């Protein structure tokens, strides 16, 4: 393969949204601004909204729109009401969301152009075809991973295999860390994708995507750190979790007659079990729930300098201003930054400096309120995060370059705001690259704990759902009716019925 065709590494879009259990009660939102955040991109970004002529060599300010990503990872927390989620009945809604995501990203190229047209065919114009290579649903956590069926052409006119054509293996995993450290009200889900090398005889590349939801409340820092450790130890991608490889459009329509369009039985590449850190590239998305550290003395920033204690009144004063510059002054007190610097959570992952992106807090807003209407029930903060790590032997963490990192304020159904980022990887991983360093050993009993957690989820979920049905949607009414029924039954059994 000509080296020029490898000048461009894979581009991956990460997207996460704590939906606040709203999707059952409201129509699905328009996902365009979230999944195609460059739709309103300023020319100051270096990207215009008109296509680049085929033979031109344009300066940065005259480039065409951003290309569609090679991979999408879309994560949800609190996807559906908790009773329904624990009972394992979120599958139908997850299928609807999958269809809506693919419908949205299919129009990527026409959406980012101001004339809403596609580029000429010689520039790779036309709708995008994304295949869902991995999907996992556990309780209120949902994670989708999509691969583009068309090779990237933005930096090279040389043909090459698309990322969808390179998929060799997909594994999924889930873990509950909620009630009893087992139930699915908190925990993580993951998708592990192995891609064939771009070069003949090159090293396969492993991508692991993890959607996590950790314990809530400002004071539960130690609990969040503990849940993170449990996720690392018990989120295991074993051979039995291998998913069937996707059927590509070219197979369905016969452009590759020798390839069967039937879904083949899933066969693992090997029979090893892997942790989330057994990967070349790791991406963590979700509501990690790290808040602002208020009233804490002795805290130090990433440079080791002591921080003055932060009081709640100062936070509320800044919150009322809605000034991104003033909010940036709170970021040194972010619990994730402090705990990560101390090595107590998210070990080895890159935590983006949010002050570079002028992000307003992603939490806590008034659900179904005005766009910037903050709730007085909780302090604002940045619990929703996107983190990543790379094991590239020559570049390390700098191997992944962040093109953009944004929150989408117009989404008001939840008390959280969705976030998204686009990152770019090097063209080919260094042949000497091993997997990431694993911070905690795998729990030898992970399968047992997972089974117990699922049983507890189903028991609680179905009982809760029954009570809501019995109480016409009100749990308190159901409990009152059951208590009254119990009292009447006791009197009847005692022969005191009047």
Cβ atoms 276, 262 nearer than 8 A: no
pTM score of the predicted model: 0.89
Cβ atoms 129, 60 nearer than 8 A: no
Share above pLDDT 90 across residues of the chain, in percent, rounded to a whole number: 56
Looking at residue 116, what is its pLDDT? Answer: 73
d(CA 273, CA 379): 41
Q: What is the DSSP string of 122-133?
A: GGT-S---EEEE
Residue with tokens 């983006």: 352
| 3 state SS of 34 | helix
pLDDT at 486 over 90: no
Looking at residue 50, what is its pLDDT? Answer: 40
Nearest Cα to 106, choosing from 10, 195, 47, 35?
Answer: 35
**H helices within 307-406, ranges in order?**
312-321, 324-328, 335-341
The DSSP letter of residue 428 is: S
Q: Which of 153-162, 224-233, 271-280, 466-475 has the lowest mean pLDDT?
A: 153-162
Which structure tokens are listed for 301?
A: 């920033």
pLDDT confidence band for 377 (50 / 70 / 90): confident
pLDDT digits (tens, 9 = 90+) for 17-38: 999 998 887 788 899 999 998 7
Looking at residue 264, what is its pLDDT? Answer: 58
Exposure of 115 by Cβ count < 10 A (0-12 exposed, 13-18 middle, 19+ buried)? exposed
pLDDT at 359 over 70: yes
Which residues, in sequence order, are bridge partners of residue 283? 209, 388
**Per-residue exposure over 197-235, b if at least 16 CB sit within 10 Å of its own CB, e if not:** ebeeeeeebbbbbbbbbbbeebebbebbbbbbbbbbbbb
Looking at residue 40, what is its pLDDT? Answer: 62
Looking at residue 107, what is its pLDDT? Answer: 86
Q: How many residues does the chain have?
A: 498
pLDDT at 177 over 60: yes
423 versus 471: which is more confidently predicted?
Answer: 423
Torsion angle of the four alpha carbons 446, 98, 169, 282, in this order, in degrees rounded to the nearest 10: -60
Q: Which of 87-101, 201-215, 327-341, 397-411 has the lowest mean pLDDT?
A: 397-411
328 versus 157: which is more confidently predicted?
Answer: 328
Phi, psi of 3 (to 5 degrees): -60, -30
pLDDT at 249 over 90: no
d(CA 62, CA 90): 45
Q: Which residues contact 398 (CB under 8 A, 6 or more apart)?
A: none
d(CA 4, CA 291): 45
pLDDT confidence band for 127 (50 / 70 / 90): confident
Angle at 230 between CA 181 and CA 90, to 5 degrees: 60
Phi, psi of 352 (to 5 degrees): -60, 145
Cβ atoms 197, 204 nearer than 8 A: yes
d(CA 253, CA 255): 6
Q: Structural domains in the chain?
A: 3-248+265-443 (3.60.10.10)
The DSSP letter of residue 70 is: S
d(CA 17, CA 78): 9
Mean pLDDT of all residues belonging to the chain: 84
Most confident of the following: 66-75, 388-397, 445-454: 445-454
Nearest Cα to 334, choosing from 356, 361, 313?
Answer: 361
Looking at residue 431, what is its pLDDT? Answer: 65
d(CA 36, CA 67): 10
Cβ atoms 97, 23 nearer than 8 A: yes
């Amino acid at each position: 393969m000509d080296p020029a065709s490898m000048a461009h590494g894979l581009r991956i879009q990460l997207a996460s949204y704590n939906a606040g259990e709203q999707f059952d009660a409201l129509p699905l939102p328009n996902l365009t601004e979230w999944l195609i955040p460059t739709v309103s991109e300023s020319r100051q970004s270096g990207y215009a909204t008109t296509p680049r002529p085929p033979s031109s060599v344009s300066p940065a300010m005259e480039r065409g729109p951003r290309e569609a990503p090679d991979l999408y990872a879309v994560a949800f927390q609190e996807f559906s009401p908790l009773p329904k989620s624990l009972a394992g009945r979120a599958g139908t809604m997850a299928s609807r969301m999958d269809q809506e995501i693919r419908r949205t990203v299919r129009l990527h190229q026409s959406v980012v152009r101001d004339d809403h047209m596609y580029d000429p065919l010689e520039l790779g114009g036309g709708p995008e075809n994304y295949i869902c290579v991995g999907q996992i649903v556990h309780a209120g956590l949902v994670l989708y991973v999509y691969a583009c069926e068309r090779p990237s052409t933005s930096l090279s006119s040389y043909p090459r295999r698309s990322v969808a054509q390179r998929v060799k293996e997909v594994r999924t995993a889930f873990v509950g860390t909620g009630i009893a450290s087992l139930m699915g009200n908190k925990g993580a889900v993951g998708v592990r994708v192995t891609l064939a090398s771009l070069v003949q005889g090159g090293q396969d590349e492993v991508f692991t995507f993890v959607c996590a939801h950790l314990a809530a409340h400002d004071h539960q820092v130690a609990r969040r750190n503990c849940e993170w450790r449990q996720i690392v130890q018990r989120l295991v991608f074993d051979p039995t979790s291998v998913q069937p490889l996707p059927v590509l459009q070219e197979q369905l329509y016969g452009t590759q007659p020798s390839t069967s369009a039937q879904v083949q039985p899933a066969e693992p590449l090997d029979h090893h079990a892997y942790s989330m850190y057994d990967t070349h590239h790791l991406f963590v998305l979700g509501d990690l729930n790290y808040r602002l550290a208020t009233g804490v003395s002795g805290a130090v920033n990433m440079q080791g300098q002591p921080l003055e204690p932060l009081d709640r009144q100062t936070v509320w004063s800044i919150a009322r201003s809605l000034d991104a510059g003033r909010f940036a002054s709170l970021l040194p007190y972010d619990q994730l930054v402090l705990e990560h610097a101390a090595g107590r959570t998210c070990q080895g992952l890159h935590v983006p400096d949010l002050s570079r992106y002028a992000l307003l807090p992603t939490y806590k807003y008034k659900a179904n309120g005005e766009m910037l209407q903050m709730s007085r029930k909780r302090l604002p903060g940045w619990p929703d995060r996107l983190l990543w790590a790379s094991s590239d032997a020559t570049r390390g963490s700098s191997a992944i370059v962040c093109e953009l990192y944004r929150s989408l304020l117009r989404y008001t159904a939840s008390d959280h705001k969705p976030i998204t980022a686009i990152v770019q990887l090097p063209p080919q991983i260094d042949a000497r690259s091993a997997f990431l360093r694993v911070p905690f050993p795998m729990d030898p009993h992970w399968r047992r704990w997972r089974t117990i957690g699922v049983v507890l989820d189903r028991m609680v979920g179905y009982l809760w759902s029954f009570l809501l049905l019995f109480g016409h949607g009100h749990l308190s009414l159901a409990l009152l009716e059951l208590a009254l029924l119990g009292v009447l039954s006791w009197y009847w059994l005692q022969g005191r019925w009047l």
